[in-house]
Chains A and B, each alone.
Chain A
Amino acid sequence: MLFRFIMRRLGQTVIVLFCVSIIAFALVRIAPSSPARMMLPDTATDEQVAAMEVKLGLDKPLYVQYYKYISGIFHGDLGTSTQYKTDVSGIIANRLPATLELNAVAILFALVIGIPMGIVAGSKPGSVTDFFAVLFALIGQSMSPVWLALLNILIFSSWLDLLPSYGYGPLVCIILPAMTHGYPVAAQITRMGRSGMMDVLREDYITATLAKGISKRKVYTKYAFKNALIPIVTMVGLQLGIFMAGAVVVETVFSWPGLGQLNFQAVGNRDYALVQSTLLVTAAIIAVINLLVDIINSLIDPRITLE
C-alpha cells in the first residue's frame, strides 16, 4: 500500500513538473520582443537579429525548441544568462545556500516563538496572555512583509543601532531578515497552536486524566501538548516550499544574496533565461519538499495512504 502510494505521488510530481516546464518554456515565447533582440545591442539590424535567432534555434518549430530545452534541463543546462553571460545553473547553485540558510533560521524562529505562544494562549483562553497572542497573530497575518522589513530596519538598525540592516556572512546579519521572514509564519503557528490546544483540552481523555488526579501541569505538557502539535507539524511541512519561495521581498529589502534577490534583479534586467529558470527551480524544490512531506506523513499516519 505504501509503495503504491509513493509511486502514485511520484507520478503526480513528475506530471506537475512537466507542466511547470511548459509554462516556463512558454513564458519566454509570449514575450513581446524576441529573446534574440534582447541579447543584442539596441542598434542591431533586423538581419543580425535573424542571424541570432538561427543561432539560438528560435527559427525551428516550437516542439523542436521545447525538446531542446527539456533535454538541456536533463543535462543540467538551464540556458545562458543575458546579464551575467554565464551558465544559469551555476548562478542558481551559487545563490541557493543563502536562501536555504535564511529559510532555516526563519522557520526556527517561527517555531520557537509560535509554538509556546500558541500553546500558552490555548491553555488559558480569555487571559491577558491569550489576548496578546491573538493580537500578535492577527497583526502578523495582516502586515505587508515589505513594510515589516522596513520597520525592522528603522527600529533595530537605525534608531536602536543594534543590528545590521544588510550584509551576508556574520551571524548577526541574518537576525533581521529571518525575523521579518518568519513573523507571518510565527503568527500562523500561534493561531493554529492556540486552536489546537483548545480543541485537545476539550477531549474526554484530558478530563479523565485530570479526574485521575494527575497534576494539571503534567496533563498539559505530557498529554495535550503533543496532540496539539500534530496539525502544526503538518501545516509547516506543507507550507515549507511556498514559504521558501516567498523570500523575494525580504531578500530584496535586506540585500540578501539568495534566489529571491536574483529573481528580482533578473526581472529588472529582462534576463528571461534567469527568470524562467528560477521559476522552474523553485517549483522543483517545492514539488520535492511536498513529496517528502507527504511520504513522511504517510509513514507517521498510515491512514493517509488510503485516501
Chain B
Amino acid sequence: MNSKLIFKRMLHSKFFMIGFITCMLIVIFAVVGPSFVVYDAEKNSLTEQFLKPEWLSNGWQGHILGTDELGRDEFTRLVVGARYSLAIALVVTVCSAVLGTILGMIAGYLGGAADAIIMRMCDVFLSIPNLILSIAIIAVLGTSTTNLIIVLIISSWVQYCKLSRNNVLVTKKMEFVSASKCLGATNSHIIFKEIFPNITTQLIILVSQQFGNVILVEAALSFMNLGISPPTPSWGNMIAGGRTYLTTYPWLCVVPGMALMITVLAFNFLGDGVRDVLDPKRT
C-alpha cells in the first residue's frame, strides 16, 4: 500500500485520529511529566495525609489531585506511575510480539514436527488463563519488575504465534516464495525477507490491540501486590492502596482507575483505527 493512501485514510478515520492524539498526549505526559513534578512520588509527608483535590486553585504547585494515606501527592504518583505502566507495556508488547512471531513463522514455514511441538505449546498456554499463570509464576519466583515483565511476556506471546503461523501458511504457497526457493534462497532468507514483510500489517494491528490488554493485566497484578511493589507508584498499586479508604477518600481509587481507563480506551481506539486504516476489508 502506498503511504499517501494510508495517510489519507488515517485522517479520515475518526477512531484512529481520536486514539492517536490521546495516546500521544498520554505518552508525552508519561515521558516528560516526571521531570516537571514538584513533589516526590515516594517520600512520605505525614502532616499532609488525605488532602482533598485542590484542582488548579493553587496552580501547578498545589496538590492538584489531593494526597494519599502517607501524604504523597496523588498527581505526582499518577505521572510517575504512568511512566512505569507504559514502559512495561511497551517492553512486554515488543518482546512477546518478536518471540511469538519468530516461533509462529518457524512453525508455519517448517511444518511437521516443529509445527506440532510449537502448536501444542500454544494449546497448553491457551488452556491456562494468563492471569492464573502469571500469579502462579510470580508466587514462586517472587515479586520484582523483571519477573513481572517475564511473566507478562510468557502469557502473551501465543496470540502472535498463532497469527503469524496462519499467515505464513497462506503466504508460503504463493509463487514468489517458490521462485525464491528455485533461485536457491536459504530458509532464513525466505522466512525473514520474503514472508515476513507480508504479515507485518496483521502484526501491527494485533500489537496495537494487545497494548491495552497488557496494561490491564499489569494493573491487576500490581493490585494484588504481585507486580510493581510499593513505594514505587503504579496505577494498579495506587488503586490497591486506595481500596482501604474507598468510602472515606474515594478519589484515591477513582483517579488512578480513571487514568487507567482513559489510557486503555485510547489504545483500543488506536487499535481499531489502525485496523480500519490498514485493513479496510475487515470492518
User: B141, A30: Cβ atoms under 8 Å?
Assistant: yes
User: A23, B223: Cβ atoms under 8 Å?
Assistant: no
B25 at interface, CB cutoff 8 A? no
User: B247, A146: Cβ atoms under 8 Å?
Assistant: no
Interface residues of B in 253-277 (CB under 8 A from A): 253-254, 256-257, 260-261, 264-265, 268-269
Contact with B along A123-142 (1 / 0, CB 8 A): 00000000000000011011
Q: What residues of A have a CB within 8 angstroms of the CB of B135 in the complex?
A: 248, 263-264, 267, 275
User: B140, A20: Cβ atoms under 8 Å?
Assistant: no
Which of A45-53, A228-236, A238-246 faces chain B? A238-246
User: A270, B139: Cβ atoms under 8 Å?
Assistant: yes
Q: Please, how many angstroms separate the alpha-carbon atoms of A245 and B137 in the complex?
A: 16
Q: What residues of B have a CB within 8 angstroms of the CB of A158 in the complex?
A: 246-247
Query: Total A-B residue pairs with C-beta atoms closer than 8 Å?
Result: 138
User: A146, B236: Cβ atoms under 8 Å?
Assistant: yes
User: A16, B141: Cβ atoms under 8 Å?
Assistant: no
A14 to chain B, nearest CB (A): 11
B137 to chain A, nearest CB (A): 7
B56 at interface, CB cutoff 8 A? no
User: A16, B129: Cβ atoms under 8 Å?
Assistant: no
Q: What residues of A have a CB within 8 angstroms of the CB of B142 in the complex?
A: 32
User: A150, B132: Cβ atoms under 8 Å?
Assistant: no
Q: What residues of A have a CB within 8 angstroms of the CB of B132 in the complex?
A: 245, 248, 263, 278-279, 282
User: B141, A32: Cβ atoms under 8 Å?
Assistant: yes
Q: Please, how many angstroms separate the alpha-carbon atoms of A27 and B136 in the complex?
A: 8
User: A144, B220: Cβ atoms under 8 Å?
Assistant: yes
B166 to chain A, nearest CB (A): 13
Our pick among B123, B133, B247 for the contact of A154 (Cβ within 8 Å) is B247
User: A282, B239: Cβ atoms under 8 Å?
Assistant: no
Interface size class of B (residues with CB under 8 A): 35 or more
User: B239, A150: Cβ atoms under 8 Å?
Assistant: yes
B57 to chain A, nearest CB (A): 25
Interface residues of A in 1-39 (CB under 8 A from B): 12, 15-17, 19-20, 23-24, 27-28, 30-32
B219 at interface, CB cutoff 8 A? yes
Number of residues in A with C-beta < 8 Å to the partner? 51
Q: What residues of B have a CB within 8 angstroms of the CB of A27 in the complex?
A: 136-137, 140
Q: Please, how many angstroms separate the alpha-carbon atoms of A150 and B265 in the complex?
A: 19
Our pick among B136, B138, B261, B265 for the contact of A147 (Cβ within 8 Å) is B261
Which of A62-70, A93-101, A172-180, A283-291 faces chain B? A283-291
User: A23, B124: Cβ atoms under 8 Å?
Assistant: yes
B226 at interface, CB cutoff 8 A? yes
Our pick among A16, A31, A242, A278 for the contact of B140 (Cβ within 8 Å) is A31
B224 at interface, CB cutoff 8 A? yes
Q: Taking CB as reference atom, which chain A residue is nearest B120?
A: A15
Q: What residues of A have a CB within 8 angstroms of the CB of B120 in the complex?
A: 12, 15-16, 19
Q: Taking CB as reference atom, which chain B residue is nearest A17?
A: B127
Q: What residues of A have a CB within 8 angstroms of the CB of B220 in the complex?
A: 144-146, 248-249
User: A150, B124: Cβ atoms under 8 Å?
Assistant: no
B36 to chain A, nearest CB (A): 26
Q: What residues of A have a CB within 8 angstroms of the CB of B124 in the complex?
A: 16, 19-20, 23
A103 at interface, CB cutoff 8 A? no
Q: Taking CB as reference atom, which chain B residue is nearest A290?
A: B127
Q: What residues of A have a CB within 8 angstroms of the CB of B133 in the complex?
A: 279
Q: Please, how many angstroms separate the alpha-carbon atoms of A54 and B22 in the complex?
A: 59
> Which of B133, B142, B226 counts the most A-chain CB atoms under 10 A from its CB?
B133
A299 at interface, CB cutoff 8 A? no
Contact with A along B210-231 (1 / 0, CB 8 A): 0010001001100111100000
User: B123, A267: Cβ atoms under 8 Å?
Assistant: no
Q: Please, how many angstroms separate the alpha-carbon atoms of A270 and B141 in the complex?
A: 11
Q: What residues of B have a CB within 8 angstroms of the CB of A24 in the complex?
A: 136
User: A154, B128: Cβ atoms under 8 Å?
Assistant: no
A232 to chain B, nearest CB (A): 18
User: B127, A20: Cβ atoms under 8 Å?
Assistant: yes
Q: Taking CB as reference atom, which chain A residue is nearest B248?
A: A158
Q: What residues of A have a CB within 8 angstroms of the CB of B219 in the complex?
A: 144, 146
Interface residues of B in 177-234 (CB under 8 A from A): 212, 216, 219-220, 223-226
User: B136, A276: Cβ atoms under 8 Å?
Assistant: yes
User: A144, B246: Cβ atoms under 8 Å?
Assistant: no
A109 at interface, CB cutoff 8 A? no
Q: Can you list 7 pairs linking A and B with CB atoms under 8 Å apart? A: A15-B123, A139-B265, A144-B236, A154-B246, A252-B224, A275-B140, A276-B136
Q: Taking A30-B141, A151-B257, A283-B127 as given, write out 5 further A-B residue pairs in contact, using a Cβ cutoff of 8 Å, ordered by the A residue number.
A: A32-B142, A145-B220, A147-B260, A267-B138, A286-B129
Interface residues of A, Cβ cutoff 8 Å to B: 12, 15-17, 19-20, 23-24, 27-28, 30-32, 138-139, 141-147, 150-151, 153-154, 158, 241-242, 245-246, 248-249, 252-253, 263-264, 266-268, 270, 272, 275-276, 278-279, 282-283, 286-287, 290
Interface residues of B, Cβ cutoff 8 Å to A: 120-121, 123-124, 127-129, 131-133, 135-142, 212, 216, 219-220, 223-226, 236, 239-240, 242-243, 246-247, 250, 253-254, 256-257, 260-261, 264-265, 268-269
